[in-house]
Amino acid sequence: MTTIPVLVYGRHMTDAADNKSWHRYRDAMTASTKLTQQDDNEEALRLLDDSIAMAISENENQWVLTLSHHPAVISNFLGNLSRVKLNRRLASLLINLQIEQSRYLSLMEQSLR
């Protein structure tokens, strides 16, 4: 019997809302991949843009980061380097935001001691 490794997206989900968003964003990545395989690259990018916008509005920073890499890969394949830079910049800004949030929370914890 062969064991097949499973790739797990995102963090461990504990409640129904997190589980629902996990499925929604995972499905968006899967659908965009299928669209790209069908040569419908612009629709794949639109789908990812919409998903990124939704993740931003829901403060799903980890999903914004994860989703923003997919259009960069598609755009790189298409030779759209300005789009690649845009998506990589978005991911970089989000990482920096998460670092600053972590620092802020650490300082707040220290001040409460």
The CATH number given to whatever domain includes residue 24 is 1.25.40
Q: What is the pLDDT of residues 10-29, one digit of tens each?
A: 444 455 666 787 888 999 99
SS3 68: helix
Instruction: Note whether residue 30 is domain-resident.
Output: yes
Is-contact 10 63, C-beta < 8 A?
Answer: yes
Q: What is the pLDDT of residues 25-64, one digit of tens each?
A: 999 999 999 999 999 999 999 999 899 888 888 888 888 8
pLDDT for 16:
61
Q: How far apart are CA 66 and CA 73, in angstroms?
A: 12
Q: Does the structure show a pLDDT above 70 at 1?
A: no
Instruction: Note whether residue 94 is domain-resident.
Output: yes
Instruction: Note whether residue 23 is domain-resident.
Output: yes
Instruction: Note whether residue 12 is domain-resident.
Output: no
The token pair at 78 is 């298409």
Band the pLDDT of 8: cuts 50, 70, 90.
Answer: very low
The token pair at 39 is 């040569």
Q: How many domains is the chain partitioned into structurally?
A: 1
Instruction: Note whether residue 25 is domain-resident.
Output: yes
Q: Give the range of the structural domain holding residue 94, as residue numbers without chain letter.
A: 19-112
